Structure 1
Amino acid sequence: MHALQSLHTFALPSQCHQLVTISDWHQLEGIDFSKPFCLLGEGSNTIFVDDFAGTVLKIALRGITIEERGDNWLVEVAAGENWHALVIYLLEQNIAGLENLALIPGTVGAAPVQNIGAYGVELAQFVEYVEGFDIATKQCVKLSNEQCEFGYRDSVFKHARKGCFVITRVGLRLNKQWRPQLSYGPLQALHEQQPTAKQVCDTVINVRQSKLPDPQLLANAGSFFKNPIVSNEMVAVLKQRFANMPVYYVDPQQQKIAAGWLIEQLGLKGHQIGDIVVYQQQALVLVNQGKGSAEDLIAMIEYIQQQVWGQFRVRLEHEVRLMGQYDEIHIQGVMND
């Protein structure tokens, strides 16, 4: 058995049957994928809530290449590279576009699975292809942006390709004609300044550091719940009761509600179950104060879901991946009227 507590940032005590570090994609050809397995990058969006009775594959592929093309750059990045380090590296090369996604924890290979996003920007806007190991054919194949079926915090890697595809490399297309995306929150204040990409990046970093705890100092998995997407009709009903509720456009029929706002309205900042606590500076974050258990975490998730449902009639889904004994599990508390 191999300890997993240090391999995921929420740091619950857990073990796995086998741990394999993948530094060359050809190693995947020798893995027995008929038995339970879990792909792991830096463990910033994964929590092991049980001992895992299978193999954890820690993806440690490295390498970045940049190809200059007519009006854009093609940046090809191995799946084990750190996402934030990539953002900073590209800015140092005067390649902008990813600055709104600065300081999002995790690896490049994990980014398409979640279709990471922040401050009005999503990874899907930049993906040209995702390359990976097809478990059935034992071949490396490339999927186009369209084939990745990106959605809000979603992709084909959570559905049809889940459990049968190991991302090994991501190709990003970054346009040379850069325009800052300043539509969200504190970035709106930069409109008058005509900021550089680095200034946008620095602002994003400062905001994130002010709201999110450093997992090396306080165990956490970042934003824990998805911002729920609801119908315009539902928004209208809620706005009658909560006029200051922040909402964001999704499409002509739907809008997105800030999950952190919903939780904060319930007075849950600082709420504690065992050693699991709703973070005081940001209600969207759950922290493990050091001796948290899986049972306490699950109880906290269910409690928050039930409270949000009771007050707003909105269902919250956890964004963080929870791994059980054999596979990923999903928590949905009983919605009491």
Structure 2
Amino acid sequence: MNELSVKNNFSLKGFNSFGLDSRALAFVSVKKEADLFALPELLDKYPRHLFLGGGSNVLLPAFFDGLVIEIDIQKFDYKESHNDVLISIGAGYNWHQLVADTVERGWGGIQNLALIPGKVGAAPIQNIGAYGTELKDVFVCLKAFFPKEGIFRCFNNEECRFGYRDSIFKNELKGKFIISEIWLRLTKSNHLIDYSYYALADYMKKKGIFKPGVKDVFEAVIFIRQSKLPDPAIIGNAGSFFKNPVVSERLFQELKSKHPGIVSFPSGQKGLIKIPAAWLIDRSGFKGKNIGQAGCYEKQPLVLINRGEARPEEIVALGGQIQKVVKEKFGILLHPEVNIIQPENYEGMIEI
């Protein structure tokens, strides 16, 4: 059996995009699938454990009293047919690098998902999405390891129960699995090009691009994201802290009568409207506001940032204040998109 090297009192500062000075009781890195079979014995020793990918969508506690397992399985294979290509990717592969690699080869399907931070293994858990595209649109299946049973299981698209930033892995199977590999089906020609979002359409118009291709959309998404989102390497953040709320048409019309300038997007679900959480947060007066070293980013209030030495409880407190004021002003509860680890640590915890 493969043995894994366990490191004690390990700093996680370089393993979370918030840049929080978090530490773990113990840490281990999984580099290949075969290493996963050594985990059951370790998990018996450390009942409290956390599977960590890129650390781009988590809020870690100051100290995690257990074992942190980094999934760093690197793999990229593909099989081409006449019209499309089936790719298999290891869970440790950087997501944006995957998008860049596929665009460079002329393949279509995930170009709208450029610059989403994190690793491939986290993508199905969140059903990541941006600018009209979601992972489920190209997802075929995945392989996951269940340490308690010591077995692998495969899940197809339907079995993953994808929803808006949601899947079975955030619910019934939370904490019970490790994704090792995923398969996506991309197009080689006749690509579905979606640039219907205003920011994308405006970019194409200004560039004089009337029939954009895969690379045009890829470059547009990068330009737009870089113009409004902070680079985690410079300003610690986990991207969108809250999900965009989906409300009934009736509630939306009520809100519109009180707030004529309210912004909305189609939700893709009959009778439901999506409202940008950033608009709600901005109109609630939080843009640029701070609690300690935690702040609400000036260019995009949906992003909470670490202004230098923020503590986890400061970020939670700011998130909780945002929830409270938005609920009072608009009657809408914002739900965190970021995975808050050990929520029981915090007083006045945000509602999840």
Report the TM-score when normalising by structure 1.
Answer: 0.95
Change in 2 beyond 3 A, CA 1:173/1:157: same
Give the distance between the partners of 1:135 and 1:280, measured in 2 at CA.
43
Aligned twin of 2:216: 199
Give the distance between the partners of 1:265 and 1:259, measured in 2 at CA.
10
Write the letter of the residue equivalent to 2:240. Answer: S
CA contact (8 A) 1:119 1:185 kept: no
Mapping for residues 281-292 of structure 1, pairs under 5 Å: 281-292=299-310
Change in 2 beyond 3 A, CA 1:293/1:214: same
Give the distance between the partners of 2:70 and 2:13, measured in 1 at CA.
14
Write the letter of the residue equivalent to 2:350. Answer: Q
Write the letter of the residue equivalent to 2:233. Answer: Q
CA contact (8 A) 2:141 2:157 kept: yes
Provide structure 2 residue ranges, at least 5 long, that are not aligned to the other structure: 1-8
Give the distance between the partners of 2:313 and 2:170, measured in 1 at CA.
25
Query: How much does 1:241 deviate?
Result: 1.3
Query: How much does 1:301 deviate?
Result: 0.8
Give the distance between the partners of 1:3 and 1:78, measured in 2 at CA.
25
CA contact (8 A) 2:94 2:120 kept: yes
Give the distance between the partners of 2:284 and 2:216, measured in 1 at CA.
35
Q: Does 1:5 align with 2:22?
A: no
Give the distance between the partners of 2:227 and 2:310, measured in 1 at CA.
24
Give the distance between the partners of 1:56 and 1:328, measured in 2 at CA.
20
CA contact (8 A) 1:8 1:46 kept: yes
Aligned twin of 1:225: 242
Q: Does 1:234 align with 2:251?
A: yes
Query: How much does 1:329 deviate?
Result: 11
Higher mean C-alpha deviation, range 264-273 or range 31-40: 31-40
CA contact (8 A) 1:270 1:280 kept: yes
Partner residue of 1:108 out of 110, 120, 144: 120
Aligned twin of 2:297: 279
Aligned twin of 1:14: 22
Provide structure 1 residue ranges, at least 5 long, that are not aligned to the other structure: none
Query: How much does 1:327 deviate?
Result: 9.8
Partner residue of 1:302 out of 309, 312, 320: 320
Give the distance between the partners of 1:265 and 1:200, measured in 2 at CA.
30
CA shift digits 1:235-264 (9 cap, x unpaired): 111111122212122211211110001001
Mapping for residues 260-279 of structure 1, pairs under 5 Å: 260-279=278-297
Query: How much does 1:333 deviate?
Result: 5.2
Query: How much does 1:267 deviate?
Result: 2.1
Partner residue of 1:259 out of 273, 277, 301: 277
Give the distance between the partners of 2:51 and 2:152, measured in 1 at CA.
16
Comparing both chains, which one has the higher relative contact order based on Cα–Cα distances under 8 Å and sequence gaps of 6 or more?
Answer: 1
Q: Does 1:188 align with 2:201?
A: yes
CA shift digits 1:249-285 (9 cap, x unpaired): 2211211110001001122111011011111010111
Q: Does 1:63 align with 2:95?
A: no
Mapping for residues 19-38 of structure 1, pairs under 5 Å: 19-31=27-39, 32-34=42-44, 35-38=47-50
Change in 2 beyond 3 A, CA 1:211/1:269: same
Give the distance between the partners of 1:332 and 1:16, measured in 2 at CA.
23
Change in 2 beyond 3 A, CA 1:45/1:91: same
CA shift digits 1:185-214 (9 cap, x unpaired): 211233761011111111100000011111
SS in 2 for 1:235: helix
SS in 1 for 2:218: helix
Amino-acid identity (%)? 37
| RMSD across aligned positions (CA) | 2.0
Mapping for residues 137-176 of structure 1, pairs under 5 Å: 137-176=149-188
Query: How much does 1:71 deviate?
Result: 2.7
- Count the aligned residue pairs: 334
Higher mean C-alpha deviation, range 99-108 or range 38-47: 38-47
Write the letter of the residue equivalent to 1:252. Answer: K
Write the letter of the residue equivalent to 1:27. Answer: D
Report the TM-score when normalising by structure 2.
Answer: 0.91
Aligned twin of 1:41: 53
Give the distance between the partners of 2:153 and 2:290, measured in 1 at CA.
46
